[in-house]
Amino acid sequence: MPVFGKNIYVATSLNVIATAQRNNKVLAFEPLVASTTQRVSGCSEEGNDIIQFNIDGSQGDRGYVITFFKSIHPSLAPGESLDEMNRIMIHNIAKSADALAAASPRRIRLGQWLRHEITLATTNSVYGPANPLLNREVENAFWSV
């Protein structure tokens, strides 16, 4: 399936998944990440050059995408860090649902409410109090891309 000018493949067989993981230079996720990052961030040409540098790892362990994955994976791996992020997200969602339940009956646009609440719950767990998406303009800009 073509997405952002790259082909996306869905593997549903354990053998195919294992083969794809062993051949990460041929079937790479990093070029899709770089392309998506450029489109979402709207960064400059210089920024694009930084994102694209050494995307395939042929020049060693240097480059934005390579260091990004190495820095983010430990936080998202099963264990205490991921558990804490999930606790923060669940706490945020519960707080929002409680506030909605305590309010006078009213109509809401469920899809918009869910998008907003899940966006904030998720990004609060990543950014903490410095979450840039707490600014509604930034949140709206994120979803307008």
For 51-94, the pLDDT digits (tens) are 878 777 777 777 877 777 777 778 788 889 889 999 999 999 99
Mean per-residue pLDDT over the chain, rounded:
82
Q: What is the pTM of this model?
A: 0.57
Sign of CA dihedral 122, 123, 129, 134: negative
What is d(CA 54, CA 19) in angstroms, rounded to the nearest whole number? 23
Q: Are 112 and 139 in contact (CB under 8 A)?
A: no
DSSP state of 6: E
What is d(CA 49, CA 67) in angstroms, rounded to the nearest whole number? 15
